[in-house]
């Protein structure tokens, strides 16, 4: 068992922390296109490349679509690849996200979460990565720059695990996290390099009748990305779902392993419970909002309210059992969505929670708060009002409008 | 550019095992299939091939069967060049980090009309601007054949396709064929060439040259499609000869921007009396059938005129303007 | 030639193909079949170069070409391009 290593404290904004993590993770290829608020990641990384601080092939592609394609192609050739984007860039990659997970390429991507157009908005919300929740990517959301740094390093281990082999996206809130300086503890270079290790490949059976490591190699020719007709396509999709199921355990394992060397753990890697054990009223949120929420919860507790918070760190795969246990005693739950799913009877996180708690005997009253769209600021008093509503709900046992908008002028 | 010319005989090529294997599902008489077979026989190895969605991709990779004896990747329609960029970058860095044993691996990207002229153009232009070391091969059958013969940027003026049919009001595609090879020359790339499969030796030499060049190379190959052109499958290679003889598709190459006419077209330039009228090439192809109606006489003349003008321009560019048309 | 399709646990990920197309015989597609007169054939091997399916190969040990009817689709390019008209396309007889 390793002792936690001596770490260095640096002043880093979220984007810089991500670039630093990539620098340390022995990444082979970075293919990326700039978009606000991710630009600092690629700019910082370019500096590392220009100063010879990394051994990475940096490809300044001509669009995000090509960024994902080149990353995918490099990955299946055997390289460890990283890319980053946000908002419209992620939307432009949409087609290729499905191809990347279908090709089982463990690309790691940082998303500086930002609103989607139209109208154009450069500020933070989760609509970009939420819109990709069906793409077969593992989705993690960081609460602060420290977690962004840690999660990128962990992402390589999670994706490259031979039972997973799925791409991983790590979300950090646009501007709130990407551009705000924080104290970030960084591990020594050798420690990170050892943690991520050298990429391994499973053996697959090829058309030559022999097994070979799963990558493009003239020594062992194999065909990847064929056309699979009605008789086979379905089976490949089932394989991807199986990989997602394995990811539930792998994410937890990697989280504990990382905790041993860094001293930092994010709940169990899937969810983080904050004063939830005996909470009667609780909220669920993703990303940086959790930071403010924790302060609000502390304040409420001081006033005798049994308040709690569930921060969802992993949205895909959805940690169903873990969520069910975490909110088993909660009576009223507010699920916060920093994005909107038009015509969908509430946001995606709300839908996920209502659905997974449907069969639980004592499931809580669940309401939805759509908030923060386009970088709309959410103050502690806004967040406190959520708990006030939850307490009302406890008393009346009934809610008129389960889907609400927080901070909207109406 | 290497000065060592690769010498090969027909028998040597015929004996060489195919890397684009038999058993693929292309139509009988498929021009692109011949083109791919010949180009793969021109490789020096080791090679990695990537392909855009299209006829050649679909016919050669119907799971669980594959016609590729080399490593092969397909991802999407517009991604032949971006795939190649990623593969090339990975090979470069993995070699540096000593994770692969091969000294050099050739990367070839194959794409049809869609994957080159239109939806794939952005990735191609970007990859060439970045100077990746790969060979991009356009197998040009002049429409989006795999999805049902729809018009592309490479469909010639006057051709009937399913999205530019020859109707009573509009006689086929009104727009002109995108001069893709000229556009690629304008990118300032080290090697651009056009080729036609009847002239197999010229085609294979150019493919090899493209592979040997350091940096990006572009090969535009004429590839008749009997299904889409409504032509006789037995004549696919014959059409690839007629296209050169009538100057519909001249063969030339550009080395670092200096254009040179290749022998098959040079013969036409030097003996202009042997230049065939475009009608010889167009007749017998169902997609041009409407041009032979009396009311389309003007359109037919227009096609002859455009062909002649473009031929004159090419001769000038290649320094052959002394020869008359 | 139907093979039992494999289930999702039995196949390689990412669609890595498990069979060569050399196992998929396309020879039964043809309506016409090439018939070569060996007397007229000069062994120029142009037919072997132009065949879209690689169904004609040159065997130096036999000093001859061979048309592989398992893959020939009967397109007739070989017949059309043969400089001595040594190949003729004939309707394939149902000889089963």
Q: What is the CATH number of the domain that holds B156?
A: 3.40.50.970
Q: Chain C: give the shortest CA distance to residue B135, in Å.
A: 22
Q: What is the pTM of this model?
A: 0.96
Kindly report the number of other CB atoms within 10 A of residue A115's CB atom. Answer: 25
A384-407 average pLDDT score: 93
Provide the pairing of β-strand A168-173 with A138-141: parallel
Per-residue pLDDT at B2 exceeds 80: no
Per-residue pLDDT at B324 exceeds 90: no
Structure tokens belonging to residue C74: 């009967």
8 Å CB contact of B15 and C57:
yes
B30-43 average pLDDT score: 98
Q: What was the pLDDT predicted at C4?
A: 79
Q: What was the pLDDT predicted at C92?
A: 80
Rounded to 10°, the helix B80-96/A64-77 angle is 50
Of A105, A224, A235, the CB nearest to C16: A224
Q: Domain map of chain C by residue range?
A: 40-96
Q: Of A148, A370, A272, A318, nearest to A282 (Cα)?
A: A272
Per-residue pLDDT at A154 exceeds 60: yes
pLDDT tens by residue, A247-284? 999 999 999 999 999 999 999 999 999 999 999 999 99
Q: How many domains does chain B have?
A: 1
Per-residue pLDDT at C96 exceeds 50: no
What is the C-alpha R_g of chain B? 19
Please state which of the four CATH numbers 3.90.1300.10, 3.40.605.10, 3.30.70.20, 3.40.30.120 is assigned to the domain occupying C40-96: 3.30.70.20
Q: Which domains does chain A have, with CATH numbers?
A: 8-201+231-262 (3.40.50.970), 271-406 (3.40.50.920)
Which of C2, C7, C12 has the highest number of chain A CBs within 10 A, making it the mutation to test binding with A?
C12
Q: What was the pLDDT predicted at A399?
A: 80
C44 touching B (Cβ < 8 Å): yes
pLDDT tens by residue, B170-182? 999 999 999 999 9
The angle formed by the CA atoms of residues B91, B114 and B63, to the nearest 5 degrees, is: 65
8 Å CB contact of C18 and A207:
yes
Q: What was the pLDDT predicted at C93?
A: 76
Per-residue pLDDT at B243 exceeds 90: yes
pLDDT tens by residue, A186-206? 999 999 999 999 999 999 999
Q: What was the pLDDT predicted at A16?
A: 98
Looking at chain A, the whole-number percentage of residues with pLDDT higher than 70 is 99
Which of B21, B28, B41 has the highest number of chain C CBs within 10 A, making it the mutation to test binding with C?
B28
- Residue B277 within a domain: yes
Q: What is the ipTM of this complex?
A: 0.96
Cβ within 8 Å of residue B257, ≥6 positions away: B185, B188
Mark which residues 233-292 of B lie under 8 Å from C by CB.
Answer: 233-238
- Residue B211 within a domain: yes
C28 touching B (Cβ < 8 Å): no
- Would you place residue B322 in the very low, low, confident or very high pLDDT band (cuts 50, 70, 90)? low
8 Å CB contact of B130 and A60:
yes
C7 touching B (Cβ < 8 Å): no
Structure tokens belonging to residue A185: 């503890």
Residue B184: which domain range? 10-317
Report the alpha-carbon distance of residue A148 to residue A161 in Å, rounded. Answer: 20
- Residue B3 within a domain: no
Kindly report the number of other CB atoms within 10 A of residue B93's CB atom. Answer: 23
B193-206 average pLDDT score: 98
């Amino acid at each position: 068992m390793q002792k936690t290593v001596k770490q260095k404290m640096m002043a880093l904004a979220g984007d810089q922390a991500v670039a630093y993590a990539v620098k340390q993770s022995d990444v082979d290829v970075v293919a990326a296109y700039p978009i606000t608020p991710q630009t600092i990641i690629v700019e910082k990384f370019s500096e590392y490349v220009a100063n010879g601080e990394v051994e990475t092939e940096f490809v300044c592609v001509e669009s995000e679509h090509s960024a994902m394609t080149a990353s995918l192609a490099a990955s299946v050739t055997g390289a460890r690849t990283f890319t980053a984007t946000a908002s419209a860039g992620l939307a432009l990659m949409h087609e290729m996200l499905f191809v990347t997970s279908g090709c089982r390429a463990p690309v790691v991507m940082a998303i500086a979460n930002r609103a989607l157009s139209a109208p154009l908005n450069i500020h933070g919300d989760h609509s970009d990565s939420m819109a990709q929740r069906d793409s077969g990517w593992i989705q993690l959301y960081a609460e602060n720059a420290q977690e962004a740094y840690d999660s990128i390093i962990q992402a390589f281990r999670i994706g490259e695990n031979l039972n997973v082999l799925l791409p991983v996206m790590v979300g950090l809130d646009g501007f709130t996290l990407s551009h705000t300086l924080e104290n970030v503890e960084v591990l020594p270079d050798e420690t990170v390099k050892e943690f991520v290790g050298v990429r391994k490949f499973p053996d697959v059976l090829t058309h030559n009748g022999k097994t070979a490591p799963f990558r493009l190699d003239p020594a062992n020719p194999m065909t990847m990305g064929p056309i699979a007709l009605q008789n086979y396509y379905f089976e490949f999709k089932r394989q991807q779902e199986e990989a997602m199921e394995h990811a539930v355990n792998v994410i937890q394992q990697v989280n504990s392993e990382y905790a041993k060397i860094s001293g930092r753990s994010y709940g169990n890697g899937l969810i983080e419970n904050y004063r939830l054990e005996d909470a009667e009223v609780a909220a669920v949120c993703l990303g940086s909002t959790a930071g403010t929420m924790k302060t609000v919860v502390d304040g409420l507790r001081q006033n005798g309210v049994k308040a709690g918070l569930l921060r969802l760190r992993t949205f895909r795969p959805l940690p169903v059992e873990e969520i069910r246990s975490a909110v088993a005693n909660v009576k009223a739950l507010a699920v916060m969505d920093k994005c909107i799913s038009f015509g969908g009877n509430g946001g995606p996180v709300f839908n996920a929670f209502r659905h997974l708690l449907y069969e639980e005997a004592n499931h809580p009253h669940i309401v939805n708060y759509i908030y923060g769209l386009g970088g709309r600021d959410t103050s502690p008093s806004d967040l406190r009002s959520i708990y006030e509503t939850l307490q009302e709900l406890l008393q009346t046992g009934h809610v008129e409008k389960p889907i609400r908008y927080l901070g909207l002028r109406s | 550019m290497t000065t060592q010319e690769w010498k090969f005989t027909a028998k040597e090529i015929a004996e060489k095992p195919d890397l684009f294997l038999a058993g693929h599902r292309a139509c009988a008489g498929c021009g692109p299939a011949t083109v791919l077979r010949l180009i793969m026989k021109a490789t020096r190895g080791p090679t990695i091939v990537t392909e855009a969605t299209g006829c050649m991709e679909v016919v050669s990779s119907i799971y669980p069967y594959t016609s590729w004896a080399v490593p092969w990747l397909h991802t999407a329609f517009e991604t032949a060049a971006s795939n190649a960029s990623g593969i090339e970058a990975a090979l470069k860095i993995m070699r540096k980090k000593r994770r692969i044993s091969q000294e050099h691996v050739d990367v070839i990207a194959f794409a049809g009309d869609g994957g080159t002229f239109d939806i794939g153009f952005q990735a191609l232009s970007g990859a060439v601007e970045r100077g990746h070391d790969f060979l991009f091969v356009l197998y040009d059958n002049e429409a989006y054949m795999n999805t049902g013969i729809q018009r592309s940027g490479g469909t010639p003026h006057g051709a009937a396709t399913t999205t530019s049919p020859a109707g009573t009001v509009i006689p086929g595609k009104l727009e002109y064929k995108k001069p893709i090879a000229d556009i690629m020359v304008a990118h300032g790339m080290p090697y651009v060439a056009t080729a036609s499969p009847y002239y197999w030796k010229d085609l294979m030499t150019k493919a090899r040259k493209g592979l040997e060049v350091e940096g990006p190379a572009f090969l535009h190959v004429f590839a008749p499609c009997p299904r889409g052109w409504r032509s006789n499958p037995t004549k696919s290679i014959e059409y690839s000869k007629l296209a050169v003889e009538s100057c519909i598709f001249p063969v030339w190459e550009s080395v670092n921007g200096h254009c040179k006419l290749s022998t098959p077209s040079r013969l036409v330039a030097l003996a202009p009396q042997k230049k065939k009228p475009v009608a010889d090439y167009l007749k017998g192809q169902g997609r041009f059938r409407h041009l032979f109606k009396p009311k389309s006489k003007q359109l037919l003349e227009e096609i002859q005129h455009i062909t002649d003008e473009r031929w004159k321009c090419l001769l000038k560019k290649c320094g052959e303007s002394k020869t008359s048309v | 030639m139907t093979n039992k399709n494999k289930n999702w646990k039995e196949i390689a990920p990412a669609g890595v193909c498990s069979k060569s197309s050399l196992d998929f015989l396309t020879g039964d597609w043809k309506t016409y079949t090439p018939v070569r007169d060996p007397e007229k054939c000069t062994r120029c091997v142009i037919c072997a170069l132009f065949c879209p399916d690689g169904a004609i190969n040159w065997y130096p040990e036999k000093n001859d070409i061979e048309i592989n009817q398992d893959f020939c689709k009967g397109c007739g390019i070989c017949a059309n391009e043969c400089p001595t008209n040594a190949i003729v396309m004939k309707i394939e007889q149902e000889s089963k």
